[in-house]
Amino acid sequence: MEQNNLTLVMEFILLGFSDLPNLQGLLFGIFLAIYLSILTGNCLLIVISKIDPALQTPMYFFLRNLSLLETCFTSVTLPRMLADLWSQKRTISLLACAVQTCFLYIFGVAECLLLAAMAYDRYVAICKPLYYPLIMNHKICVQLVVASWMIGVPVLIEETYQVFSLNFCGPNKINHIFCDAPPLFKLACGDTYYVEVSVHVVALLFVTIPFLLILSSYAKIITTIPKLPSTSGRSKAFSTCSSHLMVVCLFYGSGSIVYLQPKSSQSAGSGKVLALFYTTVIPVFNPLIYSLRNKEVIAAMRKIFLK
């Protein structure tokens, strides 16, 4: 360091919404309300699907885990954002930044894989109903959930290590709402090409492979639904599948734009908006999508509230 006359950065400043100084209090109130809504909606969905006997099925087992995962995913970014808006401090150490980035990726990849597992569950339920209890037994469901949570952990820890092994010698201002690889690359000294390629390849694999599995599952589901004998069966299959597809499109769409678009087309403003969308807005909508479009969940909620 002395030979190259470089001072390595040991902490960053998350600029966030510092360009809106007159709206800090309003933004704090909005994001606090959003965070409380996410916690309430997802926790309510977890409790309802756990205690109601009618919801003790693989679909709701996966849904409970999705709600838990989204609560964790949101808790990686929103509490820190709220603290920055409240204190106006905005500084974050290099280690804390690396931890936030790592958990953001771990939970994001886990959600991609869990959505693929949920699509497979719907495929078996609709296309192979007679074999459904045999194929989607409790042991298989647990294994799919554990695999979704854990399969990407070693790779993502390695990717995070590569990103934070780069030299950051100033400036130290991250023009983003949380620590993430794309804005960090702009602050790195030296060549970041190989690390950027590695991050994009890993993102492409963990986004594309689950997405292709989801597409193949739904291609078979779409051809099977019209062949179902009863109108009520077709209606129920369409309802559960459309809810899942809405969540998939929202999550994959915004995440793909953030991490797979060319570097030249990225802007700080659009990056913040898209990051807010997939880390904050989608977790608010998901409990609503799965509850308001699901008669079984609505019936379970009525039972609980009436009691």
What is the number of alpha carbons within 13 Å of residue 139 lying toward its C-beta?
A: 2
Q: How high is the pLDDT of residue 19?
A: 79
Residues (pLDDT < 50) of the chain are 1-5
Beta pairing partners, 103:
none
Residue 24 inside a domain? The answer is yes
CB 118 within 8 A of CB 216: no
Task: Considering only CA atoms, give the Rg of the chain.
Answer: 21
* 3-state SS, residue 284: helix
DSSP-assigned letter for residue 170: S
Residue closest to 104 by CA, chosen among 135, 75, 137: 75
- Among left, alpha and beta (phi > 0; psi -120 to 50; other), residue 5 is left
Rounded to an integer, what distance in angstroms lies between the CA atom of residue 92 and that of residue 154? 24
Listed in sequence order, the DSSP H helices in 165-226 are 181-185, 193-224
In terms of C-beta density within 10 A (0-12 exposed, 13-18 middle, 19 or more buried), how is residue 97 classed?
A: buried
Residue 5 inside a domain? The answer is no
Rounded to an integer, what distance in angstroms lies between the CA atom of residue 180 and that of residue 93? 14
| Owner of token pair 């960053």 | 12
Residue closest to 159 by CA, chosen among 211, 109, 199: 199
Beta pairing partners, 12:
92
* 3-state SS, residue 167: strand
| Owner of token pair 């150490």 | 93
Whether the ω angle into residue 171 lies within 30 degrees of 0, i.e. cis, is yes
What the block records as the tokens of 173 is 């201002």
* 3-state SS, residue 144: helix
Predicted TM-score (pTM) of the model is: 0.89
Q: How high is the pLDDT of residue 78?
A: 93
CB 232 within 8 A of CB 245: no
Query: For residue 225, what are the domain limits?
Result: 11-306
Q: How high is the pLDDT of residue 3?
A: 45
CA distances from 39 to 29, 30, 46, 290 (A): 15, 14, 10, 15
What is the number of alpha carbons within 13 Å of residue 94 lying toward its C-beta?
A: 16
Q: How high is the pLDDT of residue 290?
A: 73
Rounded to an integer, what distance in angstroms lies between the CA atom of residue 281 and that of residue 275? 9
Q: How high is the pLDDT of residue 302?
A: 80
Q: How high is the pLDDT of residue 71?
A: 92
Q: How many domains does the chain have?
A: 1
Residue 2 inside a domain? The answer is no
* 3-state SS, residue 180: coil
Residue 278 inside a domain? The answer is yes
Q: How high is the pLDDT of residue 2?
A: 44
Residue 72 inside a domain? The answer is yes
Residue 6 inside a domain? The answer is no
Rounded to an integer, what distance in angstroms lies between the CA atom of residue 125 and that of residue 132? 6
CB 172 within 8 A of CB 11: yes
Rounded to an integer, what distance in angstroms lies between the CA atom of residue 178 and that of residue 184? 10
Rounded to an integer, what distance in angstroms lies between the CA atom of residue 8 and that of residue 71? 34
Residue 3 inside a domain? The answer is no
Overall size of the chain counted in residues: 307
Q: What is the CATH number of the domain that holds 41?
A: 1.20.1070.10
